[in-house]
Amino acid sequence: MVFKRRDPKPFLRAVLEFLWPRGGWGRAFQYVKHRVRRLPDRPEKIARGIWAGVFTTFTPFYGLHFFVAAIIATAMRGNIVASLMATFFGNPLTYVPIGVVSLQTGHWLLGAEMKEETERSFGGKFVDAGSDLWQNLKHVLIGEPRDWTKLSIFYDEIFFPYLIGGIIPGIIAATICYYVSVPVIRAYQKRRRGAIKAKFEALKAKAASKAAAAKPKTD
C-alpha cells in the first residue's frame, strides 16, 4: 500500500504515544488549535462544532466519541471537522476528572450515594463491562449460559449516572469553549485575510515594478 509505514509501529509504542504524544500534550494541543483556526468556515459554525466535540467528551460512549460528536455537530449545523478535533478535550489527562465530575453529578441528580470505591475504580468497571460483554457474546454463539452481573453493576453504578451527570458539566464546558472560540477564530481569520491581502499587494507591486523596468525607454 502507498501510505503504509515502512517500519510498522510496535503496539506498546502506539499505546505510549496515545497516552503521551512525542512532543507532549502541550504541543498536540497547539497543533489541534492551529488546525481548528484554519478551517475555512464561519467562526460561529466552527464554534458550534467545537461545542459538539467538547460536550461529547462528557458522555460515557468511549470509542464512539467521533461518531457522537459528528451527529451532534450535524444536528447543530456545526463544522464536523471542528467537532472531531474538539473531542481532543477528552484525553488520558482529563478523562478521569471528567468521569469523576460526571459520576458525582449523576449520583446527586439521581438521589443516589456514590460509593468511594466507585470513584477510584470507574475505569476498571469499564474494562470489566467490556470483558463481560465480549465473553457473553461468545457464550451466545456457542450456546453456553450467560452472566450479565458485571454489566448490570456497570450500568447501575457507572454508565447511567455518567450519562445523566455529564449533561450539566458538559453543557457548561462546551458553552464556555463556544464563546471563547468565536472571537478568537474571527480575529485569526481577519488577521490571516489581512496578511494574505498584504502579500498579494506586495506581489502585485513587485510585478508592476518589473514590468516598468522591462519597458523600453523612448527618447
Task: Enter the C-alpha cell of residue 18.
Answer: 496515545
Strand, helix or coil for residue 23: coil
Nearest residue to 104 via CA among 57, 148, 139, 58? 58
CA distance linking residue 78 with residue 46, whole number of Å: 6
CA distance linking residue 36 with residue 47, whole number of Å: 9
The H-or-E segment that residue 112 falls in is: none
Number of CB atoms found within 10 A of residue 61's CB:
16
Tell me the DSSP string of 132-147.
HHHHHHHHHHHT----
> What are the average pLDDT values for consecutive 10-residue runs of the chain, which has 219 residues?
48 45 54 64 90 95 90 93 88 84 91 64 64 63 62 80 94 95 87 73 70 63
CA atoms within 13 A on the CB side of 158: 25
Crossing angle of the two packed helices 65-75 and 43-56, in degrees rounded to 10: 140
Instruction: Kindly report the three-state secondary structure assignment for every residue of 45-65.
Output: HHHHHHHHHHHHCCCCCCCCH
pTM above 0.75, yes or no: no
In the numeric block, the cell 506586495 is attached to: 202
pLDDT of residue 105: 93
pLDDT of residue 20: 46
pLDDT of residue 100: 87
